[in-house]
């Protein structure tokens, strides 16, 4: 049901004037909550940003953010300096509350389950302030029916809506403003109140619907990407067994007017695409393709490791050292959550590899990070896992420098981002995930 379909002149009896909401409390100041809170503050709302993480609050006050997102420091500083954004540990009285806390996946006897504990903890914290007529918005990604369950759990005469976030990390501020938005209100007035908030800064269209449809929409978007990446990964594995370059094949297949195949890679990471499809598996026995796609993508790190292990065996390399280039889950960001690099490093270490890591975008990681020279020094091979711009822009002198530092000269590109002709010219053996010919070249 589209709530706008029900719109008619009589509904305006409820007439929501322009300024129902003046003060907003945003709970959870991470990748989603902080830009949202800052944006609202810059658009004139009185905003209280709440987070349980003291370090995060201090870094926001100091303007030294842990999140490396283009334009965010300026946006946050503007919001704080205007006096419209205050950040603190505890919520306070407001007209509306927006929940942006994590919703990771947990496992119960091999069954995936959305961990709603952060959501309920945030809800319980604001419960005393949720009096009649207040608006509660959930932005965190949640399984269908969760908004309804929370509404029943609260058992209060509040307005409530589910408004999923669909921004792309690395381009958050632009997409926050320009993307279309879905609002699932538990009733029409809830949807309209939520729309009032978002229409202050959203330039895209805002579509109103019910919460379960909105919850489903968010999961469908990320599942669509996950399933299509799994298909591209399967194509890459098949091409690895043939003398076909999967990128040439995808490029030609995409000349078909109704085909748009995505690119393969070493696995799927991040907080969304590698997590959210499991919520479909959680709620339905019919999510067979979705489960299979998740498993295909989750197994890609092992597939990549096996390619390297076999190649090193073929080359008779003992005590191998491998240099990992890129551990962020995607190009040009510092976010390593669920990154395939973590699984690959763990697996290669368990197989006796000495692993060194270089990622010019990442500041903190589960394993020690090296500079480029230390990472390449005495290495037997480079494994490129992330499509960082910096890797694309390596010049001949950079590649030559890396070549001279290494013991064996092999580079494995899982993202098809290096200038292969340049690396070959310098003297490297270049292996490409999805190009069988490259793996059979001596």
Binding interface with ligand NAD (CB under 6 A): 27-33, 50-53, 56, 100-103, 118, 121-122, 139-141, 165, 167, 169, 271-272
Which of 219, 154, 212, 216 has its CA nearest to residue 186?
A: 212
Check: CB of residue 301 under 8 Å from CB of residue 327.
Answer: no
Q: Which residue is nearest to ligand NAD (CB)?
A: 30
The alpha-helical segments, DSSP class H, found in 53-115 are 54-62, 72-81
State in angstroms the smallest separation of the CB of 110 from ligand NAD.
Answer: 22
DSSP secondary structure string, 243-294?
Answer: T-BHHHHHHHHTTSTT-------S---TTTTTTTHHHHHHH-TT-HHHHHHH
Name the residue nearer to ligand NAD (CB basis): 33 or 326: 33
Taking the CA of residue 144 as centre, how many other CA atoms within 13 Å lie in the half-sphere pointing to its CB? Answer: 16
Rounded to a whole number of angstroms, the distance between the first and last alpha carbons of the chain is: 60
Question: Pick the catalytic residue: 192, 195, 218, 237?
Answer: 218
150 near 160, Cβ under 8 Å?
yes
The smaller minimum CB distance to ligand NAD, of residues 91 and 264, is found at: 91
- 256, exposed or middle or buried, with CB in 10 Å at 0-12, 13-18, 19+? exposed
Residue closer to ligand NAD, measured from CB, 30 or 78:
30
* Lookup: tokens for 379: 């290495």
Single out the residue of 112, 114, 92 nearest to residue 101, CA to CA: 114
Closer of 222 and 323 to ligand NAD (Cβ): 222
Toward ligand NAD, which CB reaches closer, 162 or 312? 162
Active site (annotated) includes residue 272: yes
Q: Which pairing describes strands 46-50 and 85-88: parallel, antiparallel, or unpaired? A: parallel
Burial 109-120 (b: 16+ CB within 10 A, else e): eeebbbebebbe
CB of 125 to ligand NAD, least distance (A): 6
Q: Report long-range pairs for 110-118 (Cβ below 8 Å, ≥24 apart).
A: 111/282, 112/278, 112/279, 112/281, 112/282, 113/282, 114/142, 114/143, 114/146, 114/278, 114/279, 114/282, 116/142, 116/146, 118/28
Q: Shortest Cβ distance from residue 138 to ligand NAD (Å)?
A: 9
Q: Which of these is catalytic: 25, 114, 272, 375?
A: 272
Q: Which is nearer to ligand NAD, 100 or 348 (CB)?
A: 100
218 is catalytic: yes
- Among residues 79 and 348, whose Cβ is nearest to ligand NAD? 79
d(CA 110, CA 106): 9
User: Which sign does the torsion angle of CA 209, 211, 213, 218 carry?
Assistant: positive
3-class DSSP assignment, residue 161: strand
Maximum C-alpha span of the chain: 80
Min dist CB 335 to ligand NAD, Å, is: 8
Token pair listed for 65: 């953010």
Alpha carbons 32 and 46: distance in angstroms, whole number: 18
Which backbone phi and psi does 321 adopt, to 5 degrees? -115, 130
**CB nearer ligand NAD, residue 27 or residue 385:** 27
Catalytically active residues are 218, 272
């Amino acid at each position: 049901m589209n709530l706008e379909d029900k719109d008619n002149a009589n509904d305006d009896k409820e007439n929501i004037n322009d300024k129902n909401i003046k003060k907003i409390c945003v709970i959870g100041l991470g990748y989603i909550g902080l830009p949202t809170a800052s944006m609202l503050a810059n658009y004139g709302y009185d905003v209280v940003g709440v987070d349980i993480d003291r370090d995060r609050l201090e870094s926001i006050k100091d303007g030294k953010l842990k999140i490396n997102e283009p334009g965010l420091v300026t946006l946050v500083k503007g919001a704080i300096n205007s006096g419209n954004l205050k950040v603190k540990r505890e919520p306070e009285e407001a007209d509306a509350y927006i929940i942006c806390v994590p919703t990771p996946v947990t496992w119960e006897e091999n069954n995936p389950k959305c961990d709603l504990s952060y959501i309920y903890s945030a809800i319980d914290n604001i419960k005393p302030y949720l009096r009649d007529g207040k608006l509660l918005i959930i932005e965190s990604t949640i399984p269908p029916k969760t908004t309804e369950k929370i509404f029943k759990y609260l058992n209060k005469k509040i307005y409530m809506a589910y408004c999923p976030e669909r921004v792309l990390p690395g381009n958050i501020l632009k997409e926050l403003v320009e993307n279309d938005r879905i609002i699932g209100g538990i009733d029409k007035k809830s949807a309209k109140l939520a729309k009032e908030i978002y229409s202050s800064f959203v330039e895209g269209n805002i579509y109103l619907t019910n919460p379960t449809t909105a919850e489903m929409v968010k999961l469908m978007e990320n599942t669509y990407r996950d399933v299509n990446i799994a298909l591209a990964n399967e194509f890459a594995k098949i091409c690895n067994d043939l003398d076909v370059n999967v990128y040439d094949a995808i490029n030609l297949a995409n000349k078909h007017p109704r085909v748009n195949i995505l690119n393969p890679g070493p696995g799927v990471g991040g907080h969304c695409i590698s997590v959210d499809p499991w919520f479909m598996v959680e709620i339905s026995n019919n999510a067979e393709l979705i489960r299979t796609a998740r498993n295909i993508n989750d197994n890609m790190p092992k597939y990549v490791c096996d390619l390297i292990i076999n190649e090193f065996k073929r080359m008779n390399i003992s005590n191998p050292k491998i240099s990992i280039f890129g551990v962020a889950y995607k190009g040009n960001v510092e976010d390593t959550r669920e990154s395939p690099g973590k699984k690959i490093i763990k697996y290669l270490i368990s197989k006796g590899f000495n692993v060194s890591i270089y990622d010019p975008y990442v500041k903190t990681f589960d394993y020690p990070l090296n500079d480029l020279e230390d990472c390449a020094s005495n290495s037997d091979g480079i494994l490129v896992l992330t499509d960082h711009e910096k890797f694309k822009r390596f010049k001949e002198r950079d590649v030559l420098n890396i070549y001279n530092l290494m013991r064996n000269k092999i580079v494995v590109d899982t993202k098809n981002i290096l200038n292969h002709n340049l690396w070959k010219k310098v003297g490297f053996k270049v292996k490409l995930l999805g190009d069988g010919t490259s793996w059979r070249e001596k």
